[in-house]
Structure 1
Amino acid sequence: MRKKKVTLQDIADKVGISSASVSMILASKSLNRFSDETINAVYTVSREMGYESKHAKRDRKIVVIVCPSVINPYFASIIQGMEQEAKVRGLETVLFTTYWDIDKEKRVCEFAKEPSVGGVIFAMIPQQPELVRELNKTVPVVAVGDKQNDVGLDTVDVNNFNAGTLVANHLLSLGHRKIAYLSTSLNSEHSARVRRFEGLKVAIKQFGPPARLSLYTAEVSSLTELNTLDIEHQTGYALAKRCMKETPDVTAMVAINDMVAYGVIDAIKESGFSIPDDYSVCGFDNIYPSSFAGVGLTTVEHYILQGGKSAVRLLCEKMERQQPRTLEQGAVTRVEYQNRLVVRTSTGIPPVK
């Protein structure tokens, strides 16, 4: 006996929505009208029931994910969100890590022109936006980027400037007036790091004297990042040691991210000081180890898992529209998640120095 063909109405009845809504979700159209739960339910039920649509039969099924590193749980969380969303949509993914190597990014862009590739997602702002915009003429591209950095691509934005101001205002409200910012390479190729610093700097300047911001940076090459497993921890450790020696009146250290902050914490404790009694420490990203009882890091939540999912949804909309072409002025789609300060035990009132 021939098996009954599964219809959109069958899926709609199972999920509890209209067949028109099911059709829109499976076609990745107007997804902002539906909740994550509804979208996931439609894809799960359609897969379980064996439904096949013209959208499921598209030739290009592979999504290329590009990220600088998988060591930092920040990028691991973004990738996990992308993988989760790709799975419910029946998409295969291929992961490339560049370690901030420009030549590697070029090679990835060349690979992305293969006929089997349906789209590309950068888990960071591309280092060569012109090259990626050229790729976007033939292959749909989405990036997870910085709100203040307009690269002419569809992006899921993180407002890094706002994140910096959140941390600065928190420390200032506690009474800190001598604050240090500790970062890996700080240049135009790493706009998120620069924007966080600018957010801190502007907030502290607006507060006025005697508030002061010191800057400590360390240049890290792509080769070093590739060959050194704990490079961010090492960087935070070394910069904190330097900061304590050169600016002993500093009472709070802000690390470029949580991984660097862990190195800062170890350096402070190894030097015989306590947190937050002697020094307050902040990070950015709210990666999962920051909530551990032995860490308790005050940090900024960017909702990176959800951002990874949104990047795949945005890419799918472009793939379904078959719209990789150069976008007209004003036609770039930008999705933003609001930052949230997560206050834990690593920050407190400053000591008298």
Structure 2
Amino acid sequence: MKKKKITSTDIAKAAGVSQSTVSMILNKKYNVSFSKETVEKVEKTAARLGYQPPKRKVRKESRKEKLLVVFCSNLTNPYYVMLLQGIETRAKEAGFGLFICNTQRSLKMEERYLRMMPELSPLGIIYTCNPSRCYMDMIEDLAGKIPIVVVNNQNEQMSVDAVELDNSKLGRLMARHLLELGHRDVAYIAPPLTIRQKQRSKRVEGFLKEFDRQGLKDHVIIKAADEAYDMNVANIDSEYKIGYDLTKELLAEQREVTAIVGLNDMIAFGILDALQEEKYKVPGDISVMGCDNTLFARMHKVSLTTVEHFVVFKGRDACDIIMKKIAAGTMKYSGIEPVSTYHVEYEPKLIVRGTTSYPKKLN
């Protein structure tokens, strides 16, 4: 017959005290005073009756947050906000939290965040831009321990998972649209075209390549912001101001152009406002084109012709790759952990709206 389990109530009856007194004495509640005699009586009674204290549940450390880290070069361009939207939607569905590292294009900030990774212990890292080349050793070392996905320019060779973007292809698509409309003299406005920001240069190179095929490379005016722009913390209107200021400068030079292209939509918005201030009609006098198909591209007074390359989907895919790699790490095949490298690429799509048309001279 199973021996009856002795409880604090049994001890209280045998010792002639209340059950709460027994409970507090046996649980060492030192903030309550009992006489020495009462304490001894309860402890001796418990021992005589063979009382076994219940096994205490080991209090687990507070559950560690399942964390993903996202590196962004800035948060002023809606492009990065769209990427984050895609990442966050998928991460939330899978029960992950996000830690955002806004490097502001600073090498020191990027290094500082990378050195924080061992302490943060994320389950994965997503770079929404190309990592700085000088830290690739650190990144590849981290990639040996946790999944890392880079939303990068396709022309960069990296031994990590990637959601790729062929910036050269985007530039060619933009150029073909303008050439097919009959534009021959155009301007291209861009942020600084530095070695560190190679993806920008690739977009411009693709654009020039298409004009060069028509023997019109010399008909493209490239106006890029000064390198100092990338040395400062970006303001919410930084890229807009590049488009605005460089368009004003272009018009002051009285260069003959029938179309102006912004490297991205934010620059194109600055171009549009500068032209409007100078009483130019868009697209009647000058056509304008952007790239990225941000939300604002369809909300401007004259909807912007742009290029869609499925930014939100890229964010979701980057997160999906992380999840697949984490899952693969928990599964073995013939006792071996599978190793894989993912590369995803979307085909860009031209979105023709109200800011591009035939050049005036052909109307």
TM range (shorter): 0.7 to 0.9
Q: Deviations along 1:144-165, whole A, 9 cap, x unmatched?
A: 1111222222110112111111
Evaluate the alpha carbon distance shift between residue 295 and residue 111 of structure 1 in structure 2; reply closer, same or farther with a 3 A threshold: farther
Which residue of 241, 248, 252 maps to 2:248? Answer: 241
**Structure 2 partner of 1:333:** 342
2:158 maps to a residue whose letter is V
2:233 maps to a residue whose letter is E
Which residue of 150, 155, 159 maps to 2:162? Answer: 155
1:249 maps to a residue whose letter is E
How many Å separate the matches in 2 of 1:74 and 1:101? 19
Asked if structure 2 preserves the Cα contact closer than 8 Å seen for 1:181 and 1:216, the reply is: yes
Q: Deviations along 1:226-271, whole A, 9 cap, x unmatched?
A: 4x22111111111111222335211111111000110111111111
Indicate yes or no: 2:97 matched with 1:92. yes
Task: Give the TM-score normalised by the residue count of structure 1.
Answer: 0.77
**Structure 2 partner of 1:42:** none
**Structure 2 partner of 1:194:** 201
Evaluate the alpha carbon distance shift between residue 295 and residue 112 of structure 1 in structure 2; reply closer, same or farther with a 3 A threshold: farther
Q: Secondary structure at the match of 1:225?
A: coil
> Percent identity between the aligned chains?
32
**Structure 2 partner of 1:351:** 360
Uncovered stretches (5+) of structure 2, i.e. residues with no partner: 1-62, 331-338
Q: How many residues end up aligned between the 2 structures? A: 289
Which structure is richer in relative contact order (CA contacts within 8 A, separation 6 or more)?
1
Which residue of 216, 233, 247 maps to 1:225? Answer: 233
How many Å separate the matches in 2 of 1:331 and 1:150? 16
How many Å separate the matches in 2 of 1:335 and 1:242? 39
Q: Within 5 Å, give how 1:1-353 maps onto structure 2.
A: 61-114=66-119, 116-128=121-133, 129-209=136-216, 212-218=219-225, 219-226=227-234, 228-246=235-253, 248-322=255-329, 332-352=341-361
Q: Secondary structure at the match of 2:344?
A: strand
Q: Deviations along 1:59-84, whole A, 9 cap, x unmatched?
A: 77210011111111110010010000
Aligned-residue CA RMSD (Å): 2.1
Q: Secondary structure at the match of 1:215?
A: strand
Uncovered stretches (5+) of structure 1, i.e. residues with no partner: 1-57, 324-329
2:343 maps to a residue whose letter is R
Q: Deviations along 1:32-84, whole A, 9 cap, x unmatched?
A: xxxxxxxxxxxxxxxxxxxxxxxxxx977210011111111110010010000
Shift in Å at residue 298 of structure 1? 0.6
Evaluate the alpha carbon distance shift between residue 201 and residue 175 of structure 1 in structure 2; reply closer, same or farther with a 3 A threshold: same
